[in-house]
Amino acid sequence: MNTLELINIGSKKLKSKNISSHILDSEILLSKVLGKRREEILIDSNHKLNQEKVSKFNYLIGRRILKEPIAYIINEKEFWSMNFKVNKNTLIPRPETELMIYELVKIFKNKSPYILDVGTGSGCILISLLSEIQCAKGVGIDISNKALKVAKLNGKNYKLLYRMHLLRKPISEFNHKKFDLIVSNPPYIRKRDIKNLDTDIKQYEPKIALDGGKDGLDLIKKVIYKAKEILKINGTLAIEIGNEQFKIVSKILNNNNFKIVNIIRDYEDNIRSIISKKLNY
């Protein structure tokens, strides 16, 4: 069996389970099995495959049929033009988060901020910022040791561990020195809404990174309250929020001495991130 035939077989299996990205997914999984870039295997589509490779491919297709995310199957996700290691202990990086990073890089590009990344997960936010802001240093905190191991691996892969420190600690217990920037993609989904999420999210991604409590605001509030204490005056707080949370989160920010300076909309025009400044009064 050659490459093209196997891609088509995998694609048909995925399509039969209503997976819209069936062709792309089949190509990605075969590139993983062969240890080659997707473009390479498509160019060499007549390449013959042995039974061992075919069996490995069929196994990965079987996992995808069960709606396991591609990122977890291949253990990596592209984000900010970098490849981050991910697994079931870390949230899968989303394109919407890149929009927030883009704005933060514009603000801090020629500065030397001390950054705190709350709920760092794979470390993708902190590492992306450090890769762009050459004089920056940062701390990533998370309550999951397993997630921190992934973040450490990503930091090592991009040779940035010397500029970042990783700690297992909830933000409520964090009392380190003042920061120039606090950034967070906290859990913001209401507990009762988790059951309505797509299978690939609710069944595979870590609940701890999704569950924002009864109103979806538990962690958002904690980040804002603690940021008020550990941000420098005029320091920046950048936080991701869920759909339709802008009104209530902006009120919480205003009540806690923050001024909103930028809102970031996603590709469907929903407000998904808020950048604010800590005021000097």
Q: Per-residue pLDDT for the chain (281 aa), expressed as one digit of tens each?
A: 889 999 999 999 999 999 999 999 999 999 999 998 888 888 887 888 899 999 999 999 999 999 999 999 999 999 999 999 999 999 999 999 999 999 999 999 999 999 999 999 999 999 999 999 999 999 999 999 999 999 999 999 999 999 999 999 998 888 877 999 999 999 888 888 888 888 889 889 888 888 788 888 899 999 999 999 999 999 999 999 998 899 999 999 999 999 999 999 998 899 999 999 999 75
Equal CATH topology for 3-66 and 79-278: no
**CA-based nearest residue to 112, from 138, 87, 86, 93:** 138
Question: Is residue 184 a contact partner of residue 117, using CB atoms and an 8 Å limit?
Answer: yes
| Interacting residues of 175 by C-beta distance below 8 A, sequence separation 6+ | 229, 230
Q: What is the CATH number of domain 79-278?
A: 3.40.50.150
**Taking the model in full, what pTM does it have?**
0.92
**Beta-sheet strand order (sheet of 231-240):** 164-168, 137-142, 114-118, 179-184, 231-240, 271-278, 258-265
Domain coordinates in residue numbering, the chain: 3-66, 79-278
Q: Which fold has domain 3-66?
A: Helicase, Ruva Protein; domain 3 (1.10.8)
**CA-based nearest residue to 41, from 2, 83, 1:** 2
